Structure 1
Amino acid sequence: MRLRFLALAALLAANGPALVPGLTPTLAHAQQKLPLTLEDIWAKPTFRSASVPGFNWMNDGRYYSALDNGSLVQYEVTTGKAVQTLVTAAELELAGAALKVDGYSFNANEQKILFTTGTEPIYRRSARASYYVFDRGTKKLTPLSAGGKQGYATFSPDGQRVAFTRDNNVYVTDLATMQETAVTTNGLKNNIINGSADWVYEEEFGFAQGFFWSPDSKQIAFYTFDESQVPEYDMQEWGGLYPKEYRFKYPKAGEKNSVVLVSSYDVASARTTKMDVGPVADQYIPRVQWTRVPNTLSIQRLNRLQNKLEILHGDATTGKTKVVLTDTNPAYVEINDDLNYLEGGKQFLFTSEKDGYQHLYLHDMDGKPVRQLTKGNWEISAINGFDAKTGFVYYTSTEGSALQRHLYRVNLSGKGKERISENGPGTDVVNMSPDTKYFLNVHSAAGVPAVTSLREGGTGKLVKTLEDNAKLKQTLTQYDLGKLEFITFKTTEGVELNAWMIKPSNFDPAKKYPVLMHVYGGPSFGSSSTQTVLDNTGGGTALTNYLWHQMLAEKGYIVVSVENRGTSGRGSAFRKATYANLGKLETIDQGEGAKYLATLPYVDKSRIGIWGWSYGGYMTSLAMTKNADLFKMGIAVAPVTNWRYYDTVYTERYLKTPQENPGGYDDNSPVQFAQNMRGKFLLVHGTGDDNVHFQNSIAFVDALIKANKDYQTLYYPNRNHGISGGNTRLHLYRQMTNFVLQNL
């Protein structure tokens, strides 16, 4: 369950006039302030955050490329100046019509480019598109295939071929002849998938492309998902005289998963070899990648309860494999992309939380530990790069604060650890060049919109600011925004919790204010954070959600978010405290947050509300039932209301199967506590939600009716988990605003 781009993003504040250099606070306050409106937030580009689109590192670390007004331009890193136009907009025309480019990628020598157009999203990460091959030498633009839209088209490392998927099969095109060869032919909708992930792998293991070129371009490893025994979910698509059925494979907790195979295809001989992934069919293969040893494939194998991870090394010619490393945990093992095979083919890097925090370990190719490279009461959130010449590993971690993320490096000797990103508060999102000489850094802090800059890899020294969002900062000074404060408090159990609070800009400590709490509260997995309390502010929906909270503060509300147990950034014990009993401790902590707020002299304890989306909708539903005496009002958007309705991978990771742990599924289902509902409650869901099914809200509504409890519902036809498109967000937030104003 990952609505991280929306409800899980940190909703952080702007600090008012001081955001603009040279504009004194006195002058700023003297200016007429504008009121925040829903139209400005959701319908107009008033608060649009700028970024650097289409950024791509090139082979020579001195250059990067980016799309600019339909052309592909090469820039010099040290100056940030354009040095040449690689492909002009005019060259990207077919039959006199310009391609609307969605993305691009180079071959190995950067003389051929794959351009993507007409992309059609399928689920969260999956898509199909039309790909075109552009030859920089001949200036010729050629469709990759005439057989229909393709998926995940990828150059071979030697640049001579392109592999892609179509209709659940894998294909290879020879660029010299443009001859297309089918690697697989048995693909069938809702039955066999080759080269792409099934729904639950895509959603919960975080990938859609399921094929991988070997470093020598001789082989392609690919997944096969046999989902023939997976139960289907049936969604209605509304709009015509008769609704259409959309059926797809969705394994709910305790039900059958796909049987997953891994194979290797030899391009020259067209021979396919099945890899040995073990005798147990009911397991997961969450990652597959090539090592730096010729013909050696790395396969990660995870048991269904997800508390035992094994790394297998396999011979791609024979299919034989052996286990080289095993990582276990009493709760569950983290799956991420931190397994890195180092140049020379003798060692690999791997992260584990076996000491209670996610840290970095060095192993030889037989899996034997060489040394632990990082240690402390903080955790690594991502591996960003490795410099083979100096032996430095670059990574992002929470060492400075659980509320922040910064770039560090450490040597393979475990020495020389230092922070690379600038000292000070905030959060850094890093895109490092392949040679680690430079990195693209997106930095933001509470109250400061994102600044995108190019920096030196070894020192963090600024090379050039690419986007400072000065226009957005100037725009924000025109509004009287409340200040965001980070706070901590201890619960009655002695647990210290982090929170943020936005007060009205004209806050009067002598007055009593209503409070709206925002919650997500769910567990993280891998490098994906579920924190709402973070020292950053972003663009897109993160910023617009924050501004909606500011609008409510402008109308006289205090807005607060409390980070309960079960969330990321504070180590394994804090994150896994909720294992096998989702909802219990989280609800207690949110209740403790409400009780703490009620003790503040400026809070009206009779007017505390709560809202959340996805897992936050689940938390809101529990708060309004199990903590009915604390909350006057709640808004639950797209909530899970019974974990039996959610998917296998996510749910069983935290609860085991319903057959093994029925109480973990039922004891904290809001459906079981509908009779306790007392406050005003709004339930929102999209009928086309392929992730958290509309079925969840139907079940809760049915329970509320049986309990004779009042509620309001708002459903959005055919909208997915993000509930977006056209005027949808504007409409949704208008309804939510009115509900808050009328009931809190």
Structure 2
Amino acid sequence: MTSPLSSPLPFAHNSLSFPRQYARTQRFTLGAPRGFTVAPDGERVLFVRSGPEFGAGTASGAPSDPAAGQEWREQGTDRSHRLWMLDLTGPAGAVERLVADPETLLAGAAEELPAEERARRERSREGSAGIVGYAVDGAVESAAFALSGRLFTADLRAGTVRELPAQGPVIDPRPSPDGRLVAYATAGTLRLTCADGTGDRVLAEPEEGAEGVTYGLAEFAASEEMGRSRGFWWSPSSDRLLVARVDERPVGRWWIADPARPGREPQAVAYPAAGTPNAEVGLFVVDLSGNRTEVLWNRALFPYLARVHWSAGGSPLLLVQARDQRTQAYLAVDPESGTTTELRLEKDPTWLELFAGIPAWTGDGRLVRVTDEGGARALAVGDRVLTDSRLHVRAVLDIGADDILVSASAGEGAQTGRTNGTDEDGETSGTDETGEIHVYRVDERGAVRLSEGPGVHGAVRSGAVTVLSSARPDAPGSTVRVLRDGVRVAEITSYAQKPVLSADVRLTTAGPRQIPCAVLLPSSWTEGDGPLPVLLDPYGGPHGQRVVAAHNAYLTPRWFAEQGFAVVVADGRGTPGHSPAWEKSIARDFTLTLDDQVEALHALAERFPLDLGRVAIRGWSYGGYLAGLAALRRPDVFHAAVVGAPVADWRLYDTHYTERYLGLPDEEPAVYAANSLVTDAGLSEAREPARPMMLVHGLADDNVVAAHTLRLSSALLAAGRPHEVLPLSGVTHMTPQEQVAENLLLLQVDFLKRSLGMTR
């Protein structure tokens, strides 16, 4: 029998299969520009990007010449990101200029990541290399970044880069707003150096013998679940900083071992599992001499430091949450005394979400927040709510002098029928916009859409200049346009590869709940061919929208469709982008997310050629949990499942995420048992007949640890249920390794075809 790994691969293009291309390009993200910063004077746009095709490029941004000895690099496969600048002041128009090239700065040496930096990248799901992040001063005239634990700064006007002496390994360096100083974290200590490389000194460090205490870094729960990756913040006047103190000593230690290397010691991870102690997080105002004042709030009532903001608009702002996340407080900090004043207290009977870009001040000192009011997710400024149920606000992108830039999707109050603009009064018109995300300008008069056409749009803005990125359903990749006062002045080049296949997806809604769905059929299918075996390919849970109006989101589903499946992606209750009630309906009951997969499947079968006698499901992380849930709880619907990195036992997942939805395990053990795949007694609520399952897990995963899959496999074995286990040695919750990512797709297809009785 021919091995599936040695068989001719579909979509061969210059001997490159889609799985290999998908893996090699890191899901077609390599070569695409990202991480934009706009200078306040409107003259520069800073960003990171790998590529171009030849070498590192010249100072003008043009590709290097391979004839001059530059190494050839296949476009869109170079993992090493460089720092670039778009100069908008040139007499002939905008020009891209290379600012910093890691290969040059490291003299060709391989990049070596400190352990703390590896952990930061794992939390942010960053799988590439080089300059993946940077920070700037207030004028965006200087930038700081770390490479191999070394500290570098760039003078953006002069076009020069220098290494500063530092006590490494350097983590998260950040210039002061005036550009004279650079603060950075290292070995649990926050340090400060002058921009000329002199005067390096300690600003805050743990007490002697305080193993597990750090200054200037975010704790696991903040970086993994709250979207806060930072641990220090400069004052607008550059004379002091807010510095987080994290004490991980109360947190239980888990051990991540590499069974393939038994001689290597396991790695200790401070993991706050549901119901167990969190890290204790405090905050200090620290001046440039190291004198510090503790910031005071009721940490017993509000232990989570979710957000910190310090701008010229007013006092430092904190957003702190109760452990059950049903109460949170917006606090203003007095930097002199450390005392805090409560600006607003919010409560919700279910939970309160966190959003990017808030809290913040307007220029005239009003508090900006995103709130759930009247059944809608709305933008509020001061005491006024500026948007209604026609918009579902997702993030604040920029606060200007006269308006606020937000990311939003169509709310439940939107009217039916597509429009791509505003009505005569300047208010947004309702749309039928499955999977679309747009950029809006909001002021006292209402909201006006900035982005145009179906797609997923995002923006970065400063003053009159806006960088607008747009991914569309009918074209691969994204386009990045630079606008000045709404007029296009440049487009930033992308070196991302073009996929060897096209998504060709149908976006729709299904069932009484109008569940957002994407459907993909094999390109060779015709009306007379009959129904197709079905593969559901969801994430299907909180914070994971899969049904989006963007081409590249459906490349893997398209590849599975070309293997002979009708592929369905459905975003049921609990997924973002719909309404607060939609997201919060799954409180204490994750099984509703499975009910919606079934509802979408059956509704779509009335309109598409779906063979309900051959239905499989695959997923990763929450999607892996959902796939396992489907095979165990609904074998009447699902006939096989690929279960990737599943949360099999919710008692083993972290506090901030799990307790938001399921409460505390000691207080609600029945809720945890009902929502988990396994309990201490074995499988939880499994039904007959037993369906084949392929369990896949990275053994180096420190987010969803491999114990989840091992416990599930043991329970399946004890129950006599068929399953396969595919352990991925050295792989974390991501699978960036090229061969692993490619062959993982091929093995899944082989398993699914075997399990559904399809021709292999």
TM-score range, shorter chain: 0.7 to 0.9
1:190 to partner: Cα distance: 6.0
* Aligned mates of 2:732, 2:210 — CA distance in 1: 21
Matched, 1:58 2:39: yes
Of residues 417, 430, 451, the one that matches 2:459 is: 430
Partner-residue secondary structure (3-state), 1:428: strand
The match for 1:496 is 514
Partner-residue secondary structure (3-state), 2:257: strand
Partner-residue secondary structure (3-state), 1:612: strand
Of residues 478, 482, 488, the one that matches 1:462 is: 488
Matched, 1:559 2:559: no
* Aligned mates of 2:102, 2:582 — CA distance in 1: 55
* Aligned mates of 2:367, 2:142 — CA distance in 1: 32
The match for 1:218 is 239
* Aligned mates of 2:658, 2:27 — CA distance in 1: 39
Matched, 1:76 2:88: yes
The match for 1:207 is 228
Report the residue type matching 2:546 in the other structure.
T
Partner-residue secondary structure (3-state), 2:585: helix
The match for 2:473 is 446
Of residues 653, 656, 668, the one that matches 2:660 is: 653
1:336 to partner: Cα distance: 1.8
* Aligned mates of 2:705, 2:222 — CA distance in 1: 17
CA contact (8 A) 2:36 2:460 kept: no
The match for 2:123 is none
Of residues 383, 386, 406, the one that matches 1:373 is: 386
Residue 166 and residue 44 in structure 1: after superposition, are their counterparts in 2 closer, same or farther (change >3 A)? closer
CA contact (8 A) 1:76 1:82 kept: yes
* Aligned mates of 2:441, 2:22 — CA distance in 1: 39
1:98 to partner: Cα distance: 12
Cα deviation digits, residues 15-57 of structure 1 (max 9, x gap): x9xxxxxxxxxxxxxxx99996533443479967742366542
Report the residue type matching 1:384 in the other structure.
L
Report the residue type matching 1:316 in the other structure.
P
Cα deviation digits, residues 224-253 of structure 1 (max 9, x gap): 111111111111124445242111110111
* Aligned mates of 2:102, 2:28 — CA distance in 1: 32
The match for 1:537 is 551
CA contact (8 A) 1:168 1:189 kept: no
Cα deviation digits, residues 590-646 of structure 1 (max 9, x gap): 122333345557322211111111000000001001101111111010000111110
Report the residue type matching 2:750 in the other structure.
N
CA contact (8 A) 1:190 1:248 kept: no
Partner-residue secondary structure (3-state), 1:379: strand
Residue 240 and residue 45 in structure 1: after superposition, are their counterparts in 2 closer, same or farther (change >3 A)? closer
Cα deviation digits, residues 445-495 of structure 1 (max 9, x gap): 223123423243653x433333478972xx65xx5x5731122222xxx42
- Aligned residue runs from structure 1 range 132-171, under 5 A: 132-134=152-154, 142-171=162-191
Report sequence identity in percent. 26
The match for 2:435 is 403
* Aligned mates of 2:446, 2:90 — CA distance in 1: 26
Partner-residue secondary structure (3-state), 2:545: coil
Matched, 1:678 2:690: yes
1:496 to partner: Cα distance: 2.2
Of residues 687, 702, 705, the one that matches 1:690 is: 702
Report the residue type matching 1:214 in the other structure.
S
* Aligned mates of 2:740, 2:510 — CA distance in 1: 37
Of residues 597, 610, 614, the one that matches 2:617 is: 610
Matched, 1:641 2:641: no
1:116 to partner: Cα distance: 3.1
Residue 702 and residue 290 in structure 1: after superposition, are their counterparts in 2 closer, same or farther (change >3 A)? same
Residue 229 and residue 714 in structure 1: after superposition, are their counterparts in 2 closer, same or farther (change >3 A)? same
* Aligned mates of 1:645, 1:421 — CA distance in 2: 42
1:111 to partner: Cα distance: 5.4
Residue 468 and residue 192 in structure 1: after superposition, are their counterparts in 2 closer, same or farther (change >3 A)? closer
Partner-residue secondary structure (3-state), 1:273: strand
Partner-residue secondary structure (3-state), 1:171: strand
Of residues 358, 368, 386, the one that matches 1:349 is: 368
Report the residue type matching 1:593 in the other structure.
A
Report the residue type matching 1:153 in the other structure.
P
Residue 324 and residue 677 in structure 1: after superposition, are their counterparts in 2 closer, same or farther (change >3 A)? farther
Residue 738 and residue 86 in structure 1: after superposition, are their counterparts in 2 closer, same or farther (change >3 A)? closer
Residue 54 and residue 602 in structure 1: after superposition, are their counterparts in 2 closer, same or farther (change >3 A)? closer
* Aligned mates of 1:69, 1:677 — CA distance in 2: 60
The match for 2:534 is 515
The match for 1:725 is 737
Matched, 1:382 2:395: yes
The match for 1:121 is none
CA contact (8 A) 2:533 2:612 kept: yes
Report the residue type matching 1:623 in the other structure.
A
* Aligned mates of 1:550, 1:35 — CA distance in 2: 16
Residue 226 and residue 115 in structure 1: after superposition, are their counterparts in 2 closer, same or farther (change >3 A)? closer
CA contact (8 A) 2:652 2:708 kept: yes
Residue 102 and residue 623 in structure 1: after superposition, are their counterparts in 2 closer, same or farther (change >3 A)? closer
1:725 to partner: Cα distance: 1.6
CA contact (8 A) 1:167 1:189 kept: no
CA contact (8 A) 1:675 1:709 kept: no
* Aligned mates of 1:733, 1:376 — CA distance in 2: 41
CA contact (8 A) 1:514 1:557 kept: yes
Partner-residue secondary structure (3-state), 1:635: strand
Q: TM-score with structure 2 length normalisation?
A: 0.81
Partner-residue secondary structure (3-state), 2:583: helix
Cα deviation digits, residues 160-190 of structure 1 (max 9, x gap): 1111100111111123561122122217786
Cα deviation digits, residues 277-315 of structure 1 (max 9, x gap): 215177211112225366x32221211100111011121
Cα deviation digits, residues 130-182 of structure 1 (max 9, x gap): 11234579988553334221111111111111111001111111235611221
The match for 1:318 is 337
Partner-residue secondary structure (3-state), 1:631: coil
Q: Greater relative contact order (Cα 8 A, min sep 6): structure 1 or 2? A: 1
Of residues 312, 330, 350, the one that matches 1:292 is: 312
> How many equivalent pairs are there?
669
Residue 732 and residue 258 in structure 1: after superposition, are their counterparts in 2 closer, same or farther (change >3 A)? same
* Aligned mates of 1:149, 1:453 — CA distance in 2: 34
1:334 to partner: Cα distance: 1.2
Partner-residue secondary structure (3-state), 2:249: coil
CA contact (8 A) 1:52 1:452 kept: no
* Aligned mates of 1:259, 1:376 — CA distance in 2: 38
* Aligned mates of 1:104, 1:681 — CA distance in 2: 43
CA contact (8 A) 1:190 1:249 kept: no
Report the residue type matching 2:599 in the other structure.
E
* Aligned mates of 1:512, 1:34 — CA distance in 2: 32
CA contact (8 A) 2:153 2:162 kept: yes
Matched, 1:197 2:178: no
* Aligned mates of 1:339, 1:644 — CA distance in 2: 31
Cα deviation digits, residues 301-350 of structure 1 (max 9, x gap): 21110011101112111111121101111111111233254454521211
* Aligned mates of 1:508, 1:712 — CA distance in 2: 34
Residue 46 and residue 200 in structure 1: after superposition, are their counterparts in 2 closer, same or farther (change >3 A)? closer
Structure 1 stretch 670-679 or stretch 569-578: which is displaced more?
A: 670-679
Residue 674 and residue 278 in structure 1: after superposition, are their counterparts in 2 closer, same or farther (change >3 A)? same
Matched, 1:252 2:252: no
CA contact (8 A) 1:64 1:77 kept: no
1:692 to partner: Cα distance: 0.5
Residue 89 and residue 240 in structure 1: after superposition, are their counterparts in 2 closer, same or farther (change >3 A)? closer
CA contact (8 A) 1:595 1:630 kept: no
Partner-residue secondary structure (3-state), 2:298: coil
Residue 279 and residue 591 in structure 1: after superposition, are their counterparts in 2 closer, same or farther (change >3 A)? closer
* Aligned mates of 2:167, 2:662 — CA distance in 1: 44
Residue 469 and residue 448 in structure 1: after superposition, are their counterparts in 2 closer, same or farther (change >3 A)? farther
Residue 444 and residue 596 in structure 1: after superposition, are their counterparts in 2 closer, same or farther (change >3 A)? same
